[in-house]
Amino acid sequence: MEIIHAVHPEQMKSFDTKQLRKNFLVRELFVPDKVRMVYSYYDRLIVGGVQPASTLKLKVDERIIGSKYLLNRREMGIINIGAEGSVTVDDNEYKLGNKDGLYIGMGAREVDFSTAKLENPAKFYFLCTPAHKSYPTTSISIKETTPLNLGSYEQSNRRTIYKYIHPEGIRSCQLVMGLTVLEPNNVWNTMPTHTHARRIEVYFYFDFPNEDLVMHFMGTPKETRHLIMRSEEAVLSPSWSIHSGVGTRNYSFIWGMAGENQIFSDMDDVPMSSLL
């Protein structure tokens, strides 16, 4: 498990491209037949990816987690971005198709990942956060979510938001998680942008060819920076940082938040006129 430490916004001002990527970018999440996890000190959120060829059991380093199993005091949200696969939680199997999701409540001891067809593997992206209460493990299909259409063609940001884990949907302690899909010929996300004083957010970009890219904007509103991101990479967005992006074509991204407030609209809006 890789560890990424928290960064103060004043420290970020001196970072070059290499340092920005080292401290905020999460790469190579899907390694065949391995569980990949990155432990962040922002709200102690864990970002992970699993591409199973065989049945893979979720294991952790007890020295990092302080427990023999990951979800002893944690909860987890999963979205499958690949082909059909299954997640087995304490002997209960949940089949997930493309863009289907699963919430696993605190206390689950065993989590296994498998794929239906080896030639077309499942790819399970997950976020894991500390929890104080056990909510029921629940699966959800993207078809069961309530789509929210936002944006306009004039601003090149026509998109659909699908909420999976949130107070009006699948309940959790602090994890909020969902998926945004941009329509063809639309490339901007989350602009006008905002920050979150009360929580971290993670963006995971996917559903676009390897030769394309997303330019992700971050940093404080008065000290902006950017990261070039390829498909199936994630970026950590601290509470002080904006998070917005534009692609060379349309794409999808999974967003996930953790902190002390689950209200989706709890944002500190930043007018575009004030960005530097």
> What's the order of all strands across the beta sheet hosting 92-96?
56-57, 111-115, 85-89, 92-96
Cα 65–71–74 angle (5° rounding)?
80
pTM of the model: 0.95
CA-to-CA separations, 208 to 56, 174, 251, in angstroms, rounded: 27, 30, 5
Residue 120 lies in a domain: yes
User: Do residues 200 and 236 touch, judged by C-beta distance below 8 A?
Assistant: yes
Residue 1 lies in a domain: no
Report the CATH number that the domain containing residue 253 is assigned in CATH.
2.60.120.10
Residue 3 lies in a domain: no
Closest CA to 236 of 2, 67, 6: 6
Tens-digit pLDDT profile for the chain (276 aa)? 899 999 999 999 999 999 999 999 999 999 999 999 999 999 999 999 999 998 999 998 888 888 889 999 999 999 999 999 999 999 999 999 999 999 999 999 999 999 999 899 999 999 999 999 999 999 999 999 989 999 999 999 999 999 999 988 899 999 999 999 999 999 999 999 999 888 899 999 999 999 999 999 999 999 999 999 999 999 999 999 999 999 999 999 999 999 887 777 778 889 999 999
Residue 61 lies in a domain: yes
Residue 2 lies in a domain: no
Domain that holds residue 129: 8-274
Residue 176 lies in a domain: yes
Number of domains present in the structure of the chain? 1
Residue 19 lies in a domain: yes
